[in-house]
C-alpha cells in the first residue's frame, strides 16, 4: 500500500489539534522532533490504497523568528521531501492572521490543501463566506469543516486520497517595484523557474540585507560561490529593502483584498456576552476571584467525583489479588505477584480517576479560551515578581507535569524570564504529587464535609496548589533580583474567542495524558515495587516446607530504614516514611507504592484493609500514632518543595545547557523542603499539636 506524509500546519487556537484528533483518533502517538525535545504528535489514516501519516507541527504565527516553535516548523518544512505535502488549517474568523502564514507556505513551494475551520461559528455569527472566490484568490483547494462535530471530515478524507488536492501555487504577492524588478532579473540570470529556488533566493537576499529573523546563511549556501559574490556585491552597492517586515506589509495589502472579496460581516452591535464575560474574567479584582474559584472547584471535584471510580478500582485490585493468590501456593512467587506487583502498582493505578479529572479540567479551561485570559490577567501580578504573562502558561502547565512545562518555556524569548520560569516551575503542584497528597490528606484529614458539600480534603489540596504558586512566585522574584537581572519582556497576545470545548478532543487529550502517566510512571513503579518486595521480605528461608520471611524491621529495607530514622525523626517521619522518600526520588508517586509494599509486608496474613486505613492504625513503639495531622502537614510540605523528579532535573539540564542549574534547582528545593518540614513539625510540637 502506498504511503504519504502530511504535515498539519496552522496558527495556535485555529482548531488544528481538534482536527488532528478527528482525523487520526486513537491511532496517534507522541514523540520528540529529531534533535530537540519538543513534543510532536503523529497519527495515521488508512484510506483505500493509501496510508497517510499526519505530523502535527507546533502552532505558530509564521516562519520568521527565534522562538523554538517557529524554528521547528521552519526546519521541518524546509527539509520536507518532494512528495510530502501540507494541510494548512485556517481559522475562518481570523483569516487575516492565518493568511499571513499560508502565503509563507505557498512561497516555499509546498503542495498545500487548506482546511477552513469554525464552520459552526461562521453560521452562528451570520458571517457570509464566498468559498469559490477564496479558492480562486488563493488558487488552492479549500474544504470547510466543523472540526468539533466532524462535519466536513468525510469530504476532507476523500480529498486526502487524491494527489491533485494538494496544489502548488506561485508567489501571490509582490515586492515594491524596484525589488520586484531586481528579483525578476535575477531569476532570469540564474535560470530560476521553480517556487522552491525562488524561496531560497529571496531568503538569501533577506539574509544579505541583515534581516534579524534570518540568523544563518544556509539558503545562500545553496548557490555557487560566484552567485553568492554577485548577490553580496549588488546588495551592498544598491539600497534594496528585502526583509521580513517588508514581506508582511506587502502580504497584508493582498490579504485585505482577498478578504474584502470573499467574506462579508453583518453589522455587529457591541456589548455581546463575550465582551461581558471579558469584563469579569479580566477585571483586576473579579478576575482573580473567578480564577481561584475555578481552582477551588477543581480540587473539590477531585475528591467529590473521583471517590466512586476509585473505590471500584480499589475493589477490583483487591479481587485480582485474592484471585491470583487463591491459585498459587504459598511462597515467594505468590508473595511477589500479590503483594509486590499487584499491591505496588495497584496502589498508584487507583488514583487514575483523579489524574484524569485534573487533565480534563485543564483541557476545558484551555479549549474554552479561558486559559489565555488567565495568562493575560496574571501578567499584572507576575510583573510584580519580575516575570511576564508568558511565564504563566508554562507555570500552570506544571499543574500537569513540570517536564512539558519546562519545554514550553521555549516560546519565551527573554533568557532571564525563561531561566527563572524553568527554575521555579517544579514548585507548582504537579500530577505526580497528587497520589501522594491524596493519600496523605485522605489519611490524616478524614473529616466529614462542611455544610455537607465542602470536604476538608479538597480545601487542603487547594491550599497546597496556592502554596506552590505563591512560593514559586516568591523564588522567581529572588532569582530575578539576584541571578537573572535582565529586564522582563513585554507580553503581547491575542485573546482567542470563547469556544465550547469539543468532547471528542477532550477525550483524546485525557486519554493520551493518562496513558502517558501510566506508561512512564508505571514502569518505574513496577521495577521499584519488585525491588522493594525483595528488600522487605528477605532474608527468607524454607523451613519445614513453609516459606518464612523476616519481620519487616529485620528485613534488608528495615535495617536501612532504622539506620536513617534518627536523621529524619526531627521532621516527624519514621523509617518507613524515610524509605518511601528515598525511593520517590525516581518519581514522586513511587512513594505510594513503596508504602503499599512496606505496609503490605508488615500486615501479611491479616485482614485486607485499604492503605489509608492501614496507615491510620500504624503506631510507634511508644504507642502513639505515626500518621497524625502534624506529621501529615510536615510530609505535605516536604513533598511540596522537594526536588524529587529525575526527569525534571534532566530536562532542566537539557534546556539550560548546563549542569549548574539542575544542581542549583535540586539544592535550593531540597533545602527548602527539609527546613520547612523541620520548622513546622518542631513548632507544632511546642504548641501542643500532634
Lowest-confidence range among 242-256, 383-397, 438-452, 483-497?
Answer: 483-497
401 appears as a binding residue in the annotation: no
Q: How far is CA 239 from CA 179, 202, 249, in A?
A: 10, 15, 18
Whether the pLDDT of residue 551 is over 60: the answer is yes
Dihedral of the alpha carbons of 63, 69, 71, 75, in degrees to the nearest 10: -90
Looking at residue 680, its pLDDT comes to: 95
14 appears as a binding residue in the annotation: yes
Q: Which residue has the higher pLDDT, 520 or 534?
A: 534
DSSP 3-state percent helix, strand, coil across the chain (nearest 5): 60, 10, 30
Whether the pLDDT of residue 490 is over 80: the answer is no
* DSSP state string for 634-684: HHHHHHHH----HHHHHHHHHHHTSSHHHHHHHHHHHHHHHHHHHHHHHHH
349 appears as a binding residue in the annotation: no
Cα–Cα distance for residue pair 290/583, rounded to 1 Å: 39
Looking at residue 606, its pLDDT comes to: 39
Whether the pLDDT of residue 178 is over 70: the answer is yes
Looking at residue 674, its pLDDT comes to: 94
Summary mean pLDDT of the chain? 82
35 appears as a binding residue in the annotation: yes
494 appears as a binding residue in the annotation: no
Q: How would residue 135 be classed by pLDDT, with cut points 50, 70 and 90?
A: very high
Distance of CA 283 to the CA centre of its chain: 27
436 appears as a binding residue in the annotation: no
Query: Considering only CA atoms, which of 642, 660, 306 is closest in space to residue 455?
Result: 306
688 appears as a binding residue in the annotation: no
pLDDT digits (tens, 9 = 90+) for 343-388: 777 767 777 887 788 788 878 888 888 888 887 888 777 778 877 7
Q: How would residue 607 be classed by pLDDT, with cut points 50, 70 and 90?
A: very low
Q: How would residue 396 be classed by pLDDT, with cut points 50, 70 and 90?
A: confident
86 appears as a binding residue in the annotation: no
58 appears as a binding residue in the annotation: yes
Burial 611-647 (b: 16+ CB within 10 A, else e): bbebbbebeeeeeeebbbebbbbbbbbbbbbbbbbeb
Whether the pLDDT of residue 602 is over 60: the answer is no
Cα–Cα distance for residue pair 690/684, rounded to 1 Å: 7
Whether the pLDDT of residue 53 is over 60: the answer is yes
343 appears as a binding residue in the annotation: no
594 appears as a binding residue in the annotation: no
Whether the pLDDT of residue 448 is over 80: the answer is no
Q: How many residues does the structure list for the chain?
A: 690
Whether the pLDDT of residue 633 is over 90: the answer is yes
Residue 263 phi/psi, 5° resolution?
-135, 140
**Domain extent listing, the chain:** 4-165, 177-241, 281-432+485-516, 527-687
* Cell numbers linked to 52: 497517510
37 appears as a binding residue in the annotation: yes
- Residue 46 contacts residue 660 (beta carbons within 8 Å): no
563 appears as a binding residue in the annotation: no
4-165 classified as CATH 3.40.50.300 = yes
pLDDT digits (tens, 9 = 90+) for 300-353: 776 677 777 877 887 888 888 888 888 887 777 888 888 778 877 776 777 788
pLDDT digits (tens, 9 = 90+) for 99-133: 999 999 999 889 999 999 877 777 777 788 888 99
57 appears as a binding residue in the annotation: yes
pLDDT digits (tens, 9 = 90+) for 653-682: 877 888 899 999 999 999 999 999 999 999
30 appears as a binding residue in the annotation: no
Looking at residue 86, its pLDDT comes to: 94
**Which uninterrupted H or E stretch holds 68?**
helix 68-78
631 appears as a binding residue in the annotation: no
Residue 238 CB neighbours (<10 A): 10
Amino acid at each position: 500500500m502506498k504511503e504519504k506524509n502530511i504535515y498539519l500546519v496552522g496558527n495556535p487556537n485555529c482548531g488544528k489539534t481538534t482536527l488532528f484528533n478527528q482525523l487520526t483518533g486513537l491511532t496517534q502517538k507522541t514523540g520528540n522532533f529529531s534533535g530537540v525535545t519538543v513534543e510532536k504528535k503523529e497519527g495515521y489514516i488508512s484510506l483505500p490504497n493509501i496510508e497517510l501519516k499526519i505530523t502535527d507541527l507546533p502552532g505558530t504565527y509564521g516562519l520568521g523568528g527565534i522562538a523554538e516553535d517557529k524554528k521547528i516548523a521552519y526546519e521541518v518544512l524546509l527539509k520536507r521531501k518532494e512528495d510530502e505535502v501540507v494541510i494548512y488549517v485556517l481559522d475562518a474568523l481570523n483569516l487575516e492572521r492565518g493568511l499571513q502564514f499560508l502565503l509563507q507556505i505557498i512561497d516555499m513551494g509546498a503542495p498545500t490543501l487548506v482546511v477552513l475551520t469554525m464552520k459552526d461559528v461562521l453560521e452562528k455569527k451570520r458571517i457570509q463566506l464566498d468559498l469559490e472566490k477564496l479558492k480562486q484568490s488563493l488558487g488552492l483547494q479549500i474544504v470547510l469543516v466543523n472540526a468539533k462535530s466532524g462535519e466536513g471530515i468525510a469530504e476532507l478524507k476523500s480529498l486526502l486520497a487524491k494527489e491533485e488536492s494538494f496544489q502548488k501555487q506561485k508567489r501571490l504577492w509582490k515586492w515594491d517595484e524596484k525589488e520586484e524588478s531586481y528579483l525578476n532579473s535575477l531569476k532570469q540570470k540564474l535560470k530560476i523557474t521553480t517556487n522552491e529556488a525562488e524561496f531560497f533566493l529571496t531568503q538569501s537576499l533577506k539574509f544579505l540585507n541583515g534581516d534579524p529573523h534570518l540568523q544563518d546563511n544556509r539558503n545562500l549556501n545553496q548557490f555557487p560561490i560566484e552567485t553568492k559574490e554577485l548577490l553580496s556585491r549588488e546588495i551592498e552597492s544598491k539600497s534594496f529593502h528585502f526583509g521580513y517586515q517588508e514581506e508582511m506589509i506587502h502580504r497584508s495589502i493582498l490579504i485585505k483584498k482577498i478578504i474584502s472579496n470573499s467574506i462579508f460581516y453583518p453589522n455587529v452591535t457591541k456589548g455581546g456576552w463575550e465582551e461581558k464575560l471579558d469584563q469579569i474574567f479580566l477585571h483586576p479584582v473579579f478576575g482573580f476571584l473567578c480564577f481561584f474559584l475555578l481552582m477551588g472547584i477543581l480540587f473539590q471535584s477531585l475528591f467529590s467525583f473521583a471517590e466512586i471510580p476509585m473505590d471500584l478500582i480499589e475493589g477490583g485490585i483487591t479481587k485480582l489479588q485474592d484471585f491470583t493468590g487463591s491459585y498459587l501456593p504459598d511462597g515467594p512467587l505468590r508473595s511477589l505477584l500479590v503483594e509486590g506487583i499487584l499491591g505496588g502498582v495497584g496502589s498508584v493505578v487507583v488514583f487514575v480517576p483523579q489524574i484524569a479529572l485534573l487533565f480534563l479540567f485543564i483541557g476545558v479551561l484551555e479549549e474554552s479560551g479561558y486559559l489565555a485570559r488567565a495568562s493575560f490577567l496574571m501578567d499584572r501580578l507576575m510583573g510584580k515578581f519580575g516575570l511576564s504573562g508568558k511565564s504563566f502558561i508554562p507555570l500552570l502547565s506544571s499543574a500537569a507535569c513540570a517536564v512539558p512545562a519546562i519545554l514550553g518555556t521555549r516560546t519565551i524569548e527573554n533568557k532571564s524570564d525563561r531561566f527563572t520560569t524553568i527554575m521555579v516551575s517544579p514548585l507548582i503542584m504537579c500530577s505526580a504529587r497528587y497520589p501522594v497528597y491524596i493519600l496523605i490528606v485522605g489519611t490524616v484529614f478524614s473529616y466529614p464535609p462542611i455544610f455537607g458539600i465542602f470536604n476538608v480534603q479538597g480545601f487542603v489540596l487547594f491550599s497546597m496548589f496556592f502554596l506552590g504558586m505563591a512560593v514559586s512566585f516568591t523564588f522567581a522574584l529572588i532569582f530575578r533580583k539576584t541571578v537573572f537581572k535582565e529586564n522582563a519582556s513585554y507580553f503581547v497576545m491575542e485573546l482567542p474567542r470563547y469556544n465550547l470545548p469539543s468532547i471528542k478532543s477532550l477525550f483524546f487529550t485525557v486519554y493520551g495524558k493518562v496513558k502517558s502517566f501510566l506508561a512512564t510512571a508505571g514502569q518505574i513503579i513496577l521495577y521499584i515495587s519488585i525491588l522493594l518486595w525483595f528488600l522487605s521480605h528477605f532474608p527468607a528461608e524454607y523451613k519445614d516446607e513453609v516459606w518464612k520471611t523476616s519481620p519487616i524491621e529485620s528485613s534488608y529495607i528495615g535495617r536501612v530504614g532504622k539506620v536513617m530514622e534518627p536523621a529524619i525523626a526531627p521532621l516527624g517521619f519514621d523509617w518507613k516514611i524515610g524509605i518511601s522518600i528515598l525511593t520517590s526520588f525516581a518519581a514522586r508517586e513511587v512513594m505510594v507504592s513503596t508504602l503499599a509494599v512496606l505496609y503490605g509486608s508488615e500486615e501479611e496474613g491479616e485482614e485486607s484493609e485499604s492503605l489509608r486505613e492501614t496507615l491510620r492504625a500504624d503506631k510507634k513503639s511508644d504507642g502513639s500514632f505515626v500518621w497524625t495531622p502534624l506529621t501529615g502537614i510536615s510530609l505535605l510540605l516536604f513533598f511540596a518543595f522537594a526536588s524529587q523528579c529525575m526527569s525534571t532535573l534532566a530536562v532542566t539540564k537539557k534546556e539550560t545547557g548546563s549542569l549548574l542549574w539542575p544542581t542549583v534547582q535540586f539544592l535550593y528545593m531540597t533545602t527548602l523542603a527539609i527546613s520547612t518540614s523541620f520548622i513546622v513539625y518542631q513548632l507544632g510540637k511546642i504548641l501542643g499539636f500532634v
